[in-house]
Structure 1
Amino acid sequence: MKLKPVRALMAAAILLTGTSAADAHIVAARLGDFYMGASHPLTDLQDVVLWIATGMLAGTLGASKGRWLIPVFPIGLLVGLSLAPVFATVSTQLADATMMLAIGMLLAAAAQVPTLVLCAIAFAVAVIRGAANGAELGPETDRLLFAAGLACVGYGAITLTMALTVLFKRNADSVTSWRAIAVRALGGWIAAIGLMMASLVLAS
């Protein structure tokens, strides 16, 4: 008889534990779409190269021009994500390659790009890559959480890359300094990657 209260308490504890585990699983599943949006671009080479190239281009032009990309780039990602269902069957590989080639050549030439043109380039890159990321989503994905994660990582990536480039070039005395040459050389490599990608796409 005395065991009944103990058994009742054990049963209640098991039920509470099961409920807590279920709630935790639901929360983890919901937040999983946010983390998927934040991590998905980091697993795609085209995202990594284009985002870094865009941030570097903004950084070489200085903080006064580059800071406009802080809101422009995440907004472009969200616009591209919203357009993903419309362009789900369209490949972005040629557009990605073209943007890599263009940005790489601008970096290699140390071109002084106007702020409006810089924002247009960054917005175009963000829309293209936002659509590419959104095209792979399944119907079970919470698009709002995915969009929040994508926008957050886009903001962080473009801001960090731009800031590091500004700091790296701050001590460059002239366009012939090794720091300036290193940035231009990296731009040449990015342009070469874009050219090879475009060639492969057109040849297929």
Structure 2
Amino acid sequence: MRSISIMLGGITLLLPQLSFAHLVTTRLGEFYSGLAHPITSLEHLLPWLALGLLAGIQQRNTSRSVLLWFPFTVATGAILGGWLPGPTWIQTLNLFFLCNLGLLVLLALRLKQAVFVLLAVVFGFTQGFANGVNTLQGSDLLLYVCGVTSAAYILMALVTAVAFCTYRRSAWGPIALRAVGSWMLAIGMMYGGFLLFAPGYALTGSN
């Protein structure tokens, strides 16, 4: 019986089938593209991290509000970004957000809930618009937007939770978060210098 099993296993190995590294035979390719797009580009990832850190510094109810408003406005912006051509100033606006979010984390500033929600809404919309893809339509665009929105929720939930606990449950937490905020601010200022003196330069390193 064992020899028969070995023989059948050998025959199976001699009859290979096509295999794919990605789910190209399904309709989920655009979803994974949307999921990876904002978290593999530093110009999107860094401001998202900065917002999550800032949310972790806020009061509990204010921190939770970002989990609703940020993904919702990212989805709205991504849908409009898929239908409309992206303005040239959107990158500059997102850089402005990176610098200011980094500064707010550095100062460990607690905002009123209405002010923080407004900040998350405007920032989420501009980030979603910047992640929009004009070449996708119909269900492809829908899957892509779902991916981007999932990335926004997952990343914001994880970063906010870690920042919230770190800031309150360890003596070094506030210092560490403020140090990271200073790095975010410094990166935004350096990136702004590259944009001013080398307009073709991007944070991803492409020309």
Q: Same fold (TM over 0.5)?
A: yes
TM-score, normalising length: structure 2 = 0.77
Q: 1:87–1:131: 8 Å Cα contact kept in structure 2?
A: no
Aligned to 1:149: 147
Please state how far the C-alpha of 1:40 moved relative to its aligned partner.
Answer: 1.2
- In structure 1, the residue corresponding to 2:53 is in which secondary structure? helix
TM-score, normalising length: structure 1 = 0.78
- In structure 2, the residue corresponding to 1:41 is in which secondary structure? coil
Q: 2:56–2:163: 8 Å Cα contact kept in structure 1?
A: yes
User: Identical aligned pairs, as a percentage?
Assistant: 29
Please give the alpha-carbon distance, in whole angstroms, between the structure 2 residues aligned to 1:95 and 1:153.
Answer: 21
Aligned to 1:110: 108
Q: 2:84–2:134: 8 Å Cα contact kept in structure 1?
A: no
Change in CA separation of 1:101 and 1:26 when aligned onto 2, cut-off 3 Å? closer
Please state how far the C-alpha of 1:26 moved relative to its aligned partner.
Answer: 7.3
Number of aligned residue pairs: give it: 176
Unaligned runs of 5+ in 1: 1-20
Greater Cα radius of gyration, structure 1 or 2 = 1
Please give the alpha-carbon distance, in whole angstroms, between the structure 1 residues aligned to 2:68 and 2:25.
Answer: 29
Query: Aligned partner of 1:191: which letter?
Result: L
Q: 1:75 aligned to 65, 72, 80, which one? A: 72
Aligned to 1:121: 119
Change in CA separation of 1:27 and 1:66 when aligned onto 2, cut-off 3 Å? same
Please give the alpha-carbon distance, in whole angstroms, between the structure 1 residues aligned to 2:112 and 2:38.
Answer: 28
Unaligned runs of 5+ in 2: 1-18, 200-207
Q: 2:67–2:156: 8 Å Cα contact kept in structure 1?
A: yes
Please state how far the C-alpha of 1:178 moved relative to its aligned partner.
Answer: 2.4
- In structure 2, the residue corresponding to 1:199 is in which secondary structure? helix
RMSD: 2.2
Q: 2:59–2:110: 8 Å Cα contact kept in structure 1?
A: no
- In structure 2, the residue corresponding to 1:112 is in which secondary structure? coil
Change in CA separation of 1:152 and 1:139 when aligned onto 2, cut-off 3 Å? closer
Please give the alpha-carbon distance, in whole angstroms, between the structure 2 residues aligned to 1:92 and 1:116.
Answer: 24
- Is 118-127 or 69-78 further displaced after alignment? 118-127
Residue-by-residue CA offset, 1:82-110 (whole Å, 9 max, x unaligned): 22133424242211211011111111111
Please give the alpha-carbon distance, in whole angstroms, between the structure 1 residues aligned to 2:158 and 2:60.
Answer: 12
Residue-by-residue CA offset, 1:30-83 (whole Å, 9 max, x unaligned): 111111111111111112101111011000113221101111011111121122
Query: Aligned partner of 1:199: which letter?
Result: G
